[in-house]
Structure 1
Amino acid sequence: MLVIDPIGLAPAFIALTQGLEVTQKRALALRSSVIAAAILIVTALLGNWFLAQLRIGLAAFQISGGILLFGVATRMIFGEHMRQESREAESAAREKIADLAAFPLAIPLIAGPGAITATLLLASRTGGDPSLLLALVLIIAAVALASALSFLLAGQLARVLGRTGNIVLARLLGIVLAAFATQFVVDGIKSAFRWE
């Protein structure tokens, strides 16, 4: 799964989890990886059939994923998520962790349009062979485990950077994320209209 970069996702995890306690970050790392793995495994097993039933093209995933990701990037650039964290009460922390785990960590950062598209393409190439589908599922599980480990070790990088470094990194990653989001939309439009 070359479209998922577990090590490259660590800085985004740092930026999105600023202000959370270590135990909350651990829970978030594990939960987001499990959610992403579940999404990709279900995609591998049922994705092509489901898309055919709904008549949805892969380009639609790229465009919608890009738009959603752009919203996350905007919040990272302007530090909105940091102000929100400081205002939230402890009783709302668990709900926030569940939200962050599902979006944007599991979708679209880990199981993004590229990963979903790659999974659909690989699943279609198995021709329904159970052993090949099992191999694909095991690869997805291994990538999810690598993502969880990367997230769990991200705290060490955060300590090295310090508070100012983390703030600067969050803003820079927000800009990079905005560019990725825009590229997802551009690729989706090209694919939808078959532009070269």
Structure 2
Amino acid sequence: MFDVSVYTATAITLIVIMDPPGQVPVFLSLVGRRDEAYRRRAAWQAPLVSLFVVSVFAVGGKAILGYLHIGIPALQGAGGLLLLLVALQLLTGTGEPPTGKATEDVNVAIVPLGTPLLAGPGTIAAVIVAVSEGHGDAGAYLAIAAAIVTAHAVVCLALLYSTTVVRVLKISGITLLAKIAGLLLAAIAVQLIATSVIGFAATG
């Protein structure tokens, strides 16, 4: 039977970790200067990429990490370093979209939006823990799957509706937003790296 309590707890946990409102400024800073079709496509592609990654880890996360001998602190450290690179680009760049043949095919919906911003270490860890606490109960697993889909649907709606904000912010607003988002991302990255170090120290 469908476990409502597991669904509610998992959905709330994932929504809080993924932070849909907090993703909006980063999303707009990355795609705000693109055309509307690109922005709308990225708004649903990013949650879709995240949904795929999270689903993979929900099904075989413990086995994957165990086989590769990777712990959650290592994921946090890698995610933090990747986010720090993106933050530095936003802080030191001009806010212009990438140009040139080498960067034309770069899809920000995959990196950094889909992962590690949405499907980051916190999201992956929460899903692995939730699945491990299911103890083989089909109802609990169904509830976890529904919670994962619900959380990503909320993120998708937030990103889709945020595309209309671009018309209000204009170019100067997008540039300012990129700097603010870069600062916030840098703080998140440093926190992830610090948490990773603490995790390694605790297990060592």
With the length of structure 1 as denominator, give the TM-score of the two structures. Answer: 0.89
The answer (yes or no) to whether the contact 1:45–1:133 under 8 Å persists in 2 is no
Could you say which residue in structure 1 is the equivalent of 2:172?
Answer: 164
Distance 1:159 1:175 in 2: 23
The answer (yes or no) to whether the contact 2:33–2:171 under 8 Å persists in 1 is no
Could you say which residue in structure 2 is the equivalent of 1:88?
Answer: 100
**Aligned counterparts, 1:27-176, within 5 A:** 27-79=41-93, 82-85=95-98, 87-88=99-100, 93=104, 95-96=105-106, 99-176=107-184
The answer (yes or no) to whether the contact 2:33–2:96 under 8 Å persists in 1 is no
Distance 2:191 2:82 in 1: 13
Letter in 2 for 1:62: Q
Letter in 1 for 2:164: Q
Letter in 2 for 1:7: P
Distance 2:60 2:135 in 1: 13
Could you say which residue in structure 2 is the equivalent of 1:194?
Answer: 202
RMSD: 1.8
Q: CA deviation at 1:84?
A: 4.6
Moved >4 Å (runs of 4+): none
With the length of structure 2 as denominator, give the TM-score of the two structures. Answer: 0.86
The answer (yes or no) to whether the contact 1:77–1:170 under 8 Å persists in 2 is yes
Letter in 1 for 2:191: Q
Alignment coverage as a number of residue pairs: 189
Letter in 2 for 1:52: G
Q: CA deviation at 1:160?
A: 2.1
Give the % identical residues. Answer: 29
Distance 1:11 1:125 in 2: 34
The answer (yes or no) to whether the contact 2:47–2:152 under 8 Å persists in 1 is yes
Residues 25-52 of structure 1 deviation map (CA, whole Å, 9 limit, x = unaligned): 1111111111101111111111012212
2:17 match: secondary structure: coil
The answer (yes or no) to whether the contact 1:44–1:133 under 8 Å persists in 2 is no
Gaps of 5+ in 2: 1-13
The answer (yes or no) to whether the contact 1:126–1:133 under 8 Å persists in 2 is yes
Distance 1:6 1:39 in 2: 17
